A = this chain, B = another copy of it.
Amino acid sequence: MAENDNTVFVGKKGTMAYVLAVVTQINQGAREVTVKARGKAISRAVDVAEIVRNKFDTNLLVSGIGISTEEVSTEDGTPLKVSAIEITLRK
């Protein structure tokens, strides 16, 4: 997953930390922000997109959602497949 300026990668922090990250990018002029997550954080990524749209910027549209499978390495080097999501929000 390439991470550019307009991407917020959702992990284990609280949901509002990522909501703030998305809102900040929009306020700095981004027309489009992509919210990405893997594994259990996928639910949180959906929360982030929904909270941003419903509470902070109701002009944002979900312009695309994609799901995929990515291969990551565990600590002992075993390959592990995890699901991933990308939600693109656009003005």
Q: Which residues does A use to contact B, with CB under 8 Å?
A: 39-43, 46-47, 49-50, 54, 62, 65-69, 83-85, 87
Considering the chains assembled together, what is the distance between the CA atoms of A43 and B83 in angstroms? 8
* Cβ-defined contact, B65 with A46, below 8 A: no
Distance from A34 Cβ to chain B, minimum over Cβ atoms (Å): 14
**Shortest 7 CB-CB contacts between residues of A and residues of B:** A42-B43, A65-B65, A46-B83, A50-B69, A50-B83, A47-B83, A43-B43
Distance from A46 Cβ to chain B, minimum over Cβ atoms (Å): 4
Write 25 A-B pairs (CB below 8 A) sorted by A numbering. A39-B43, A40-B40, A40-B43, A41-B43, A42-B42, A42-B43, A42-B46, A43-B43, A43-B83, A46-B67, A46-B83, A46-B84, A46-B85, A47-B83, A49-B67, A50-B67, A50-B68, A50-B69, A50-B83, A54-B69, A62-B67, A65-B65, A65-B66, A65-B67, A67-B87
